């Protein structure tokens, strides 16, 4: 197999945050129609149709097989998650027909992602495997195993703004009592959300095996957790050296700092 290097241009402008109505409009009238309550005209037939359908009934149909591990976006979530959830629900109809969930619902997912190198800005192709039965995420350089990470120790977040790439994922885990990060870029938005959801699916399967008496609702809580807060702060050294700029991350109850946002 021939491998190619992906060079990422820093400071790529990320698309301005979209609201749900804007995303629906972008789907076209074949999949979705949007009308303003205040700005558009409503005839009696349209009002009657909306009253008969209603959000509850529509969601019962379009979300009848929504997996517990699939993260339903809120207004604070990344655009890539909002857009792909809406497309999955209304365009691809993944929650009506469970067989369409195969890209992220299998016990094992394999594929190529572009991983940020330790000492460089380039993102290099690596083969990744998420395997719930083996309780691991592994990645390879060609056929050489580079690392195997227990799924139970993994958190993953969508991080397009931080990484300056539209389909970026940050995988966080603890190794030898140190926090490690893996930054990967995906070829398209759907792939990014598929990998994100595959990790959540695999983690839920691990919890099912460990706690068979618990409900899926309980087990699906906190499968992945977005950072509570991130940003630059000025930190002073232990010997009262001058303040240095450091990237701080509050991950649940753990406060960490790094020399730069993409520190591995």
- CA dist 129 and 23 (Å) reads 31
- CA dist 130 and 48 (Å) reads 48
Q: Residue 248 falls within a domain, yes or no?
A: yes
Reading the chain (264 residues) residue by residue, the pLDDT tens digits are 333 344 443 333 333 455 777 777 777 656 667 777 787 888 888 888 888 878 888 899 999 999 999 999 988 899 999 999 999 999 999 999 999 999 999 989 999 999 998 776 789 999 999 999 999 999 999 999 999 999 988 999 999 999 998 899 999 998 888 889 999 999 999 999 999 999 999 999 999 999 999 999 999 999 999 999 999 999 998 877 789 999 999 988 889 999 999 987
The total number of structural domains in the chain stands at: 2
Q: Residue 78 falls within a domain, yes or no?
A: yes
Boundary residue ending a domain (43, 75, 98): 98
Boundary residue ending a domain (43, 63, 98): 98
> In terms of Cα–Cα distance, which of 109, 79, 78 is closest to 198?
109
Tokens of residue 101, six digits: 């969930």
Boundary residue ending a domain (98, 124, 157): 98
- CA dist 116 and 124 (Å) reads 6
Residue 89 domain boundaries: 20-98
Q: Residue 160 falls within a domain, yes or no?
A: no
Q: Residue 109 falls within a domain, yes or no?
A: no
Query: According to the model, what pLDDT value does residue 16 have?
Result: 46
Q: Residue 181 falls within a domain, yes or no?
A: no
């Amino acid at each position: 197999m021939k491998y190619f290097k992906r060079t990422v241009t820093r400071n790529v402008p990320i698309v301005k945050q979209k609201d749900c109505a804007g995303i629906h409009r972008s789907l076209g009238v074949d999949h979705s129609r949007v009308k303003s309550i205040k700005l558009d005209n409503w005839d009696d037939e349209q009002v009657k149709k909306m009253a008969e359908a209603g959000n509850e009934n529509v969601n019962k149909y379009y979300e009848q097989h929504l997996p517990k591990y699939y993260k339903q976006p809120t207004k604070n979530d990344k655009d890539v998650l909002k857009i792909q959830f809406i497309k999955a629900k209304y365009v691809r109809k993944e929650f009506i027909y469970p067989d369409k969930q195969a890209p992220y619902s299998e016990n094992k997912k394999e594929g190529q992602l572009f991983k940020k190198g330790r000492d460089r800005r380039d993102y290099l192709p690596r083969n990744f495997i998420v395997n719930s039965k083996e309780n691991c995420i592994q990645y390879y350089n060609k056929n050489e195993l580079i690392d195997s990470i227990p799924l139970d120790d993994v958190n993953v977040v969508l991080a397009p703004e931080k990484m300056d790439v539209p389909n970026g994922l940050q995988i966080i885990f603890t190794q030898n009592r140190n926090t490690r990060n893996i930054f990967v870029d995906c070829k398209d938005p759907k792939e990014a959300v598929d990998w994100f959801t595959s990790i959540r699916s695999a983690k839920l399967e691990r919890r099912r095996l460990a706690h068979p008496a618990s409900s899926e609702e309980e087990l699906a809580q906190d499968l992945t957790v977005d950072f509570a807060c991130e940003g630059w702060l000025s930190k002073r050294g232990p010997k009262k050296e001058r303040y240095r700029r450091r990237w701080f991350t509050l991950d649940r109850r753990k406060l960490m700092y790094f020399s730069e946002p993409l520190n591995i």
